[in-house]
Amino acid sequence: MNASWIIPFIILGGALQTCGAAMNGQLNKSLVNPYLASILIITFFFTALFFAMPHPLPGMRDIHEMP
């Protein structure tokens, strides 16, 4: 299998890491709290990821049916 399709995503991920550091720096200056700046970015990311999930979370019925 040819895995060369993943190379642009690796490059994009590396470029986005530099943007993340700059955003954290600006938030740190604005909020005067480095922990709050990091927590806001992480919370925003996981909230967006939660709403972008194609499948809903399992319900109680699904959990009870699990072996």
pLDDT higher than threshold 70 for residue 16: yes
pLDDT higher than threshold 70 for residue 1: no
pLDDT higher than threshold 80 for residue 8: yes
Within a domain: 65: no
Burial of 40 (0-12, 13-18, 19+ CB in 10 A): middle
Within a domain: 47: yes
Number of domains in the chain: 1
Within a domain: 5: no
pLDDT for res 15 = 85
pLDDT higher than threshold 80 for residue 12: yes
Within a domain: 66: no
Within a domain: 35: yes
The alpha carbon torsion through 37, 40, 46, 48 (nearest 10 deg) reads -120
27: amino acid identity, one letter: L
Within a domain: 60: no
pTM, two decimal places = 0.44
pLDDT higher than threshold 80 for residue 28: no
Within a domain: 19: yes
Within a domain: 17: yes
Q: Which domain holds residue 40?
A: 10-53
